[in-house]
Amino acid sequence: MPILERESSRDQSSQVVHVLPKVPVPPLRQTLDTYLKCVQHLVKEEQFRKTKAIVEKFGAPGGTGEVLQKKLLERRERMKNWVYDYWLEDMYLNNRLALPVNSSPVMVFPKQTFRDPKDALRYAARLVRGVLEYKALIEARELAVEFARGQLAGTPLCMEQYNRLFTSYRYPGLKTDVLKVQMKTSSSTSEHIVVARKNQFFALDVVMNNKPLSETEILAQLERVMLMAENAEETLPPVGILTSDGRTEWAQARDILVKDQTNRTSLALMESCVCVLCLDEPSGLQPTDTNRALLMLHGGGPEKNGANRWYDKSMQFVVGLDGVCGVICEHSPFEGVVLVQCSEYLVNYINGTPSKSARTTSAKELSPPRRLIWKYDACTQGRLTAAADRLQRLVSNLDMDVFKFREYGKDFIKKQKMSPDAFVQVALQLAFYKCNRRLVSTYESASIRRFQDGRVDNIRSATAEALAFVQAMTEERSPLTTTEKMKRLREAINAQTNYTIAAITGMAIDNHLLGLLRTALELKLEKPEIFSDETFLASNHFILSTSQVPTTVEMFCCYGPVVPNGYGACYNPQSDHILFCVSSFWENTQTSSAVFAKALNEAMSDIRDLCNSCCPASPKVANNSPGPSRPQRPGK
């Protein structure tokens, strides 16, 4: 993910309008050549010869590839963004896995020390007020336009994703989900959030007569919710846990719920809310970075706060009475950078001087929070039990290791005249090679917000140059000198940088290949052999799923692996350290977050030592990193 800068202006009463170009369709021959280059060193020689013949046939003059390419170019002419719908369905809406861990990233806020429950509610009230102010900035188009930094700095970026932050809802479907965005109408005079407390849900008006509630008023309403949630006689089943289930299973359960008018009313309130605020019970776990990441990703399971969620909503803010706070993002409406910008605004808002609102309303005059009522039968009760069991299995399966690499940060990397992102990507390849003696298909998200409605494409980091470097670094009796190893490092970083530039300018291969495949299906052609070839299937099984998510305040992002035998690797480079979040699944014997984190720590040290040995003038950094630690299982 690219680093961003915001446009600074004295007068930002309206966004500067930049006319952005459409996402290009890369030349067919270029994509096919790049595809072959990306996979050649990752498959056996015999398999590559077979793949190359298939690709040549697909790209032959007058062949299927040219037919599909022509259709894609026609689609680009008539659409704002030719790949958006294809990508959204393939990446998210068609995925049948549960949203927690598998799809929804989280941002872990700074640990809070609350004196008592009311102190936590004050924090929550200020957070909600910050949400309302940020939402107002979005609606007034007063957010400063963002410009890219790093590679090709200065390019204006599409701001459309911000409009979906608080207006989106993902409806479960039996085969594919539906993402709906509600646009505010001028007649809207009130808005509400939904507060989750003890697995119960309460609709709370936060804008009345076009005026947002003050922090004092929001606090009073949250205190009401806390009292209402204690009423055991009115406690209803934990319906929210259904949203943590597989998408088809949740769609089936929802189809039963909507048969009742009471449930339809409750669902309508949930689907139209600004956001969900989850007031969590203390987890009983030590608030380490690893445990806080786990709790944010899945709530600790049905016995903790796992049912105190509604995963279909785009933004869920978590305020734990034990000080574990953050936000859970339903990923289909927007990318991580939008989550970061919003989260940083809110953390800075919370830490700022409390506002002094002149308008305060007696709690008696405020509309009381409304409990969302659910009608259910034995079938729904059975689905609740099954969903809880599946969530607990997911909780028990997630293996997470969050650690700070303290030996150096991005400042040292920049002194080597290297891109910090490319540097870390090469280190990730070295770490994986140390563990497995091979490289695998790797995904790094690359923003294409330089284009209209741009989302992301993929940077394929497991390059041939990276393989040459990691082999040189791991051979016990390598014939290469230190200078030659350094040359290979720079070649690997240059290859990574060049691919990054191709991706952010719309010239990567993944979106293009997806478009060609979807076009073939739409034309009802027989599926081209290139897309059923063993190499293609393996190249889209991303054992390493990575992303750079830098922040300017104390917080970090994390997510789960995207395949059962894979790793999630999110990193946050700071000036003097780099925070890594490594995830995998306990059930897979081929992966271990602690083992990979240890190898990553070693890889970062090895590359530093190489740089220092070739550039003695570079400042030596003390080797004081404690390294990663094995995460605790929740509840142990």
Closest CA to 582 of 552, 613, 603: 603
Structure tokens at 515: 């478009």
Helices (H) and strands (E) in the chain, counts: 18, 19
Strand partners, 313: 169
SS3 assignment, position 400: strand
Structure tokens at 24: 């290009």
d(CA 416, CA 618): 8
Structure tokens at 131: 């949400």
Helix (H) or strand (E) holding 471: helix 464-474
Query: Cα 125 from chain centroid?
Result: 26
CB 429 within 8 Å of CB 439: yes
Structure tokens at 63: 């062949």
CB 457 within 8 Å of CB 508: yes
d(CA 527, CA 530): 8
Find the catalytic residue in 192, 298, 331, 512.
331
Helix (H) or strand (E) holding 128: helix 117-139
CA atoms lying within 13 Å on the CB side of residue 136: 13
Structure tokens at 624: 């004081």
CB 285 within 8 Å of CB 295: yes
Alpha helices by DSSP H, listed for 288-360, are 289-298, 336-351
Strand partners, 327: 107, 317
* 41 assigned to active site: no
Show which residues are catalytic.
Answer: 331
